[in-house]
Amino acid sequence: MAWRAGDFKGKDVWIEVTAAGLPAIRGGRVSMRYSPKQGATIYRGGAASITVGTGPILDLPAGLSADDMQKARTQAGRGSGFGKAGTRSKAQAAAAQQSAAELVASLPKDAALCFTDGACKGNPGPAGAGCVVKLPGGEHHEGHRALGTGTNNIGELTAIGMALDILDQVGFDGPVHILTDSKYSTGVLSMGWKAKANKALIATVKDKVRKHDATIHWIAGHVGIAENERADALANLGVEESRGR
């Protein structure tokens, strides 16, 4: 795709253009992105609200369609069809494993992948959070936290915040993709779900997600992804430490 810097409702964006440098209009809308980096979210804006600049026409790295991501999130919200870990049929387990493997394989090679998980015994009860951060060069970072008495949702949200904190600590500023098996976290952080509880925590984690322009993906739990399993183990380590308090 060819892109050119421009303006959308007063904001600086990159706009898909034709070889002549004009907006590539399809159905009255134009593809645009706020970042030139690989993995940036690509939106569709009304052609009347877009102004193309006079700068150079560039071939930017591939991005991710906001429409496609929303369809995937909507499907996840309706039910994945994969069942729950521990009670899946063989067919469900195979489908869940294939879906997770395809998702991980589809993510940009220069992106940081954050595998996050929360755990709780009792809900509320002793709670923990765990995360594994895989950087593009293969370097891994991980962390866990004992949360005392809490809920599973608190653990899931905390784990996402922890992963993004690790990226700050190592100074990573490339594309970020978060993989969580929590539909609650996916919903309240990226799908506009209304939260009745954990509002302060959600606001804090949302700020971190925005700072990194991170994309959140729902992924089934316990499907053979090593980093996903490790995040689960770390979250349960946090649970055990909470029990010992």
Question: Any idea what the CATH number is for the domain that residue 197 is in?
Answer: 3.30.420.10
pLDDT at res. 83: 72
Question: If you average pLDDT over residues 103-125, what whole number do you get?
Answer: 93
Separation between Cα atoms, residue 220 and residue 222, nearest integer Å: 7
What mean pLDDT, rounded, does the chain reach? 90
* pLDDT range class, residue 76, cuts 50, 70, 90: very low
pLDDT of residue 77 exceeding 60, the answer is no
Specify whether 109 is located in the same domain as 28.
no
pLDDT of residue 74 exceeding 70, the answer is no
- By the 10 Å C-beta count (0-12 exposed, 13-18 middle, 19+ buried), 204 is classed as middle
Domain ranges, residue 163: 81-243
pLDDT of residue 82 exceeding 80, the answer is no
* pLDDT range class, residue 151, cuts 50, 70, 90: very high
pLDDT of residue 37 exceeding 70, the answer is yes
- By the 10 Å C-beta count (0-12 exposed, 13-18 middle, 19+ buried), 39 is classed as buried
116 part of a folded domain: yes
Task: Identify residue 9 by its one-letter amino acid code.
Answer: K
186 part of a folded domain: yes
Specify whether 147 is located in the same domain as 199.
yes
pLDDT of residue 212 exceeding 70, the answer is yes
Beta partners for 150? 125
74 part of a folded domain: no
Specify whether 224 is located in the same domain as 120.
yes
Specify whether 166 is located in the same domain as 193.
yes
pLDDT at res. 73: 47
Specify whether 99 is located in the same domain as 206.
yes
Question: If you average pLDDT over residues 192-213, what whole number do you get?
Answer: 94
Give pLDDT tens digits for 44-62.
Answer: 888 998 999 999 999 998 8
Specify whether 110 is located in the same domain as 228.
yes
Chosen domain end from 62, 89, 107: 62
pLDDT of residue 186 exceeding 80, the answer is yes
pLDDT of residue 242 exceeding 90, the answer is yes
pLDDT at res. 243: 93
pLDDT of residue 80 exceeding 70, the answer is no
CA distances from 217 to 4, 28, 158 (A): 29, 29, 16
Specify whether 29 is located in the same domain as 91.
no
147 part of a folded domain: yes
pLDDT of residue 88 exceeding 80, the answer is no
Q: Of 12-16, 78-82, 114-118, 166-170, which range is least confident? A: 78-82
Specify whether 52 is located in the same domain as 156.
no
